């Protein structure tokens, strides 16, 4: 009542107002708003919580399922989602409505000051909503590499989402809009093609070639596109034509740029603006080749903050740790769009790691045997595989993964190799391993890598050397990798059994996979490659094989196991299983090593041998790539 009196309204006139139905909404009667208020018990405008829920429900169903009633003039029969825009356009055209812009929430400055939105007259916009421009920008994105690939969808979304963008402001730091100098280009729109300007910077005024005040669009048209008469332009700018040609050649050398890296918060604006503007200003052969996106640095798992005292700037990190340690710690901190973490413990331990590597080089340079052993095939193969994986990680900006595989894993492989050789590695292979490790480390820790290169008496500088291409693994390499993995996993299983049982072993029996299981495994792999693996299909194929058929009672459990595990098995594991050497022969050849490592006698026998000694019925557990084990 007080509000009615305040505005001078007649209570009877208000009470006489009747709602007018205009929308037919699926699931509701002619007056959905009245119906939902009655249903939810809403009596007045002060029940804000329920009113909000009611509004969301009616707006959603009305917008997506509603149609305008036939009696609603020219809009009758239209879908609500279509009619909404038509009504808006007609009202604005008739001068009966105007557009009001309202922020989606409270806007707060980085300095925590609430911001007030001002309507600016004569504002300049970039028309990112232009459909042709969007289509060309999508085309440019399709031809680019995006690191990490998961961000590509976000770029596509932003290109679709962007509409007209206010690109100027009235005050602050920045570049004046050339054709309307009362405006300054706002920071996200400015510098979106400054990579092109970098290429020309050394040829400009401070070098005495072209003074800034004499530059005009023709200068950039020549440098970026080769347009114009170079002799005439040289006279205009007071320089030599060769100097302009040099600037043009510099741009051609660097463009299109290979990669532009930035923070993940700039995908939705600056980076996408950069792509739009390159498409607008440059020919297709100068469009960007790649964007890489990274997260925000954290310190000890916590967001950097001056109030927490964990704020770290690059200058301080370099002064405290040196360049190599800083680079190593940052590279290990994270990759992709995950927020990388600066771990002080990694920085603290890095110098000891580097010194240990240099000491290892000094101790092993030029040492080792010349003859070739079977284990050398494995070490050569594992170095080649390490090289292939590490190259792929580097090429896709996965530096943490590159260090894990190319440094930590390769170090572990070298230690295992030395154990298998009783400390007498092959001289040529050890030199290759030390050289390869140094080349892999060079992009991350260049100064230490150069010192290592000198220790190895290599020519030139390591940064000038080329990381070799990985070779396709041949049959011998595949067999060596598969066999050694069998040995490693067998030792790991034995140690786990000894840990759990606390047995001091005297005799260890290893039961290798029976022939029929290897055959059945091969059948299952072949079937799984062609279609979804099913029990009936696998059993039919198995029972038709003369080597499997005699074991019909034991086949179903193993077949079920294969059906469950094969679809989840990586292709690399399947290929390794296919390359497995004869388990009995391989393990027998390496029995002395197994006995040395376990301190027990080792007996190796096939699980399908006649007269098998199997005290605990363990032999039936043997499967391809994993022996069954019994410890006495």
Locate 554 and state its tokens.
């034991």
How confident is the model at residue 411, as a pLDDT? Answer: 94
**Rounded mean pLDDT of 609-616?**
89
Neighbours of 383 (CB within 10 A): 20
What pLDDT does residue 531 have? 67
Residue-wise over 32-45: b if at least 16 C-beta within 10 A, else e? bbeebbeeeebeee
**Whole-number CA gyration radius for the chain:** 36
Residues facing residue 184 across a β-bridge: 169, 176
Residue 316 above 80 pLDDT? yes
Residues 470-483, mean pLDDT to the nearest whole number:
88
148: preceding bond cis by omega (within 30 degrees): yes
Is pLDDT of 210 > 90? no
pLDDT of 237 reads 85
d(CA 7, CA 256): 66
Mean pLDDT, residues 61-69 taken together: 91
* Domain 314-464 homologous superfamily, CATH: Isoleucyl-tRNA Synthetase; Domain 1 (1.10.730.10)
pLDDT confidence bin for 212, thresholds 50/70/90: confident
Greater model confidence, 331 or 15: 331
Q: Coil, strand or helix: which one is 125?
A: strand
Of the two residues 566 and 348, the one the predictor is more confident about is 348
The pLDDT value given to residue 14: 86
What are phi and psi for residue 17, nearest 5 degrees?
A: -70, 130
Place of tokens 């790539």: 625
pLDDT at 525: 84
Nearest CA to 540 out of 556, 525, 558, 554 is that of 556
Please compute the mean of the pLDDT values over residues 26-37 and round it to a whole number: 91
Q: What percent of the chain has pLDDT over 90?
A: 60
- The pLDDT of residue 232 is 93
Q: Tell me, what's the pLDDT at 420?
A: 93
Residue partners of 506: CB distance under 8 A and separation at least 6: 600, 601, 632
Domain boundary assignment for the chain: 2-93, 126-294, 314-464, 499-631
pLDDT at 608: 87
d(CA 195, CA 175): 16
| Contacts with 424 (C-beta within 8 Å, 6 or more apart), sequence order | 368, 369
- pLDDT, residue 307, reads 72
- On the question of a cis peptide bond just before residue 138, with omega within 30 degrees of 0, the verdict is no
pLDDT of 1: 67
Mean pLDDT of 406-420: 95
Highest mean pLDDT out of 113-122, 368-377, 533-542: 368-377
Q: Quick one: pLDDT at residue 206?
A: 57
Q: What torsion do the CA atoms of 315, 317, 319, 322 make, to the nearest 10 degrees? A: -120
What would the mean pLDDT of 379-401 be, rounded to a whole number? 94
pLDDT at 208: 63
The predicted-structure confidence for 87-134, as pLDDT tens digits, reads as follows: 999 999 999 999 887 777 888 877 778 888 777 888 999 999 999 999
The continuous run of DSSP H or E covering 299 comes out as: strand 298-299
Q: Which residues pair with 601 in a beta bridge?
A: 507
Average pLDDT on 612-629 reads 91
SS3 assignment, position 302:
strand
- For residue range 215-240, list pLDDT tens digits in order: 889 999 999 999 999 999 999 888 88
3-state secondary structure labels for all residues of 203-222: CCHHHCCCCHHHCCHHHHHH
Contact 385, 473 (CB under 8 A): yes
How many CB atoms are closer than 10 A to CB 436? 19
Percentage of the chain lying above the pLDDT 70 cut: 98
282 phi and psi, to 5 degrees?
-120, 155
Digit-coded pLDDT (tens) for 483-535: 999 999 999 999 999 999 999 999 999 999 998 988 888 888 888 776 677 88
Give the mean model confidence (pLDDT) for residues 161-171: 91
* CATH number of the domain located at residue range(s) 126-294 in this protein: 3.40.50.620
Which helix (DSSP H) or strand (DSSP E) does residue 342 occupy?
strand 341-342
Q: What pLDDT does 311 receive?
A: 82
pLDDT at 140: 97
Q: Are strands 184-185 and 168-169 parallel, antiparallel or unpaired?
A: antiparallel
pLDDT digits (tens, 9 = 90+) for 339-348: 889 999 999 9
Q: Go through the chain and tell me how many residues it has.
A: 632
């Amino acid at each position: 009542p007080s509000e009615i009196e305040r505005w001078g309204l007649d209570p009877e006139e208000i009470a006489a107002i009747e709602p007018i139905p205009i929308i037919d909404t699926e699931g509701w009667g002619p007056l959905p708003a009245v119906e939902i208020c009655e249903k939810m018990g809403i009596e007045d405008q002060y029940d804000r919580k329920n009113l909000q829920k009611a509004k969301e429900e009616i707006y959603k169903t009305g917008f997506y399922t509603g149609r305008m009633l036939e009696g609603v003039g020219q809009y009758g029969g239209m879908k609500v989602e279509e009619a909404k825009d038509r009504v808006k356009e007609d009202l604005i055209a008739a001068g009966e409505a105007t557009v009001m812009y309202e922020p989606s929430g409270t806007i707060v400055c980085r300095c925590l000051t609430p911001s007030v939105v001002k309507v600016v007259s004569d504002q300049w916009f970039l028309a990112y909503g232009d459909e042709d421009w969007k289509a060309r920008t999508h085309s440019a994105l399709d031809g680019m590499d995006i690191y990490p690939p998961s961000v590509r969808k976000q770029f596509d979304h932003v290109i679709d989402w962007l509409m007209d963008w206010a690109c100027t402001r009235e005050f602050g730091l920045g570049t004046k809009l050339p054709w309307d100098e009362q405006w300054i280009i706002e920071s996200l729109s400015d510098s979106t093609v400054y990579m092109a300007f970098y290429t020309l910077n050394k040829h400009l005024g401070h070098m005495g070639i072209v003074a800034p005040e004499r530059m005009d669009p023709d200068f950039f048209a020549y440098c970026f596109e080769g347009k114009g008469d170079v002799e005439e332009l040289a006279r205009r700018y007071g320089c030599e034509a060769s100097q302009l040609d040099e600037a043009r050649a510099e741009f051609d050398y660097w463009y299109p740029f290979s990669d532009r890296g930035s923070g993940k918060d700039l995908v939705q604006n600056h980076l996408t603006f950069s792509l739009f503007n390159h498409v607008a200003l440059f020919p297709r052969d100068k469009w960007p080749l790649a964007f890489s996106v990274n997260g925000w640095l954290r310190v000890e798992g916590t967001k950097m903050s001056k109030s927490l005292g964990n704020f770290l700037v690059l200058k301080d990190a370099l002064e405290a740790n040196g360049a190599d340690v800083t680079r190593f710690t940052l590279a290990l901190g994270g990759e992709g769009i995950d927020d990388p973490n600066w771990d002080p413990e990694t920085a603290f331990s890095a110098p000891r790691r580097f010194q240990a590597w240099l000491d290892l080089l000094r101790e092993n340079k030029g040492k080792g045997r010349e003859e070739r052993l079977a284990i050398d095939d494995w070490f050569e193969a594992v170095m080649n595989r390490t090289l292939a994986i590490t190259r792929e990680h580097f090429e896709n900006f996965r530096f943490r993964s590159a260090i894990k595989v190319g440094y930590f894993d390769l170090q572990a492989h070298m230690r295992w190799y030395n154990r298998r050789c009783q400390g007498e590695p092959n001289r040529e292979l050890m030199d290759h391993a030390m050289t390869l490790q140094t080349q892999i480390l060079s992009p991350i820790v260049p100064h230490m890598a150069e010192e290592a290169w000198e220790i190895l008496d290599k020519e030139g500088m390591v940064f000038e050397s080329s990381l070799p291409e990985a070779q396709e693994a041949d049959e011998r390499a595949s067999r060596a990798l598969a066999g050694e993995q069998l040995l490693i996993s067998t030792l790991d299983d034995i140690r786990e059994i000894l840990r759990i049982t606390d047995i001091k072993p005297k005799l260890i029996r290893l039961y290798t996979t029976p022939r029929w299981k290897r055959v059945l495994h091969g059948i299952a792999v072949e079937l799984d490659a062609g279609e979804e693996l099913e029990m009936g299909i696998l059993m039919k194929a198995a029972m038709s094989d003369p080597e499997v058929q005699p074991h019909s009672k034991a086949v179903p459990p193993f077949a079920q196991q294969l059906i469950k595990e094969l679809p989840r098995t990586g292709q690399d594991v399947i290929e390794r299983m296919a390359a497995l050497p004869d388990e009995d022969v391989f393990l027998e050849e390496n029995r002395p090593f197994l006995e040395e490592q376990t301190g027990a006698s080792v007996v190796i026998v096939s699980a399908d041998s006649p007269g098998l000694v199997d005290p605990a019925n363990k032999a039936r557990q043997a499967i391809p790539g994993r022996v069954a084990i019994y410890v006495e």
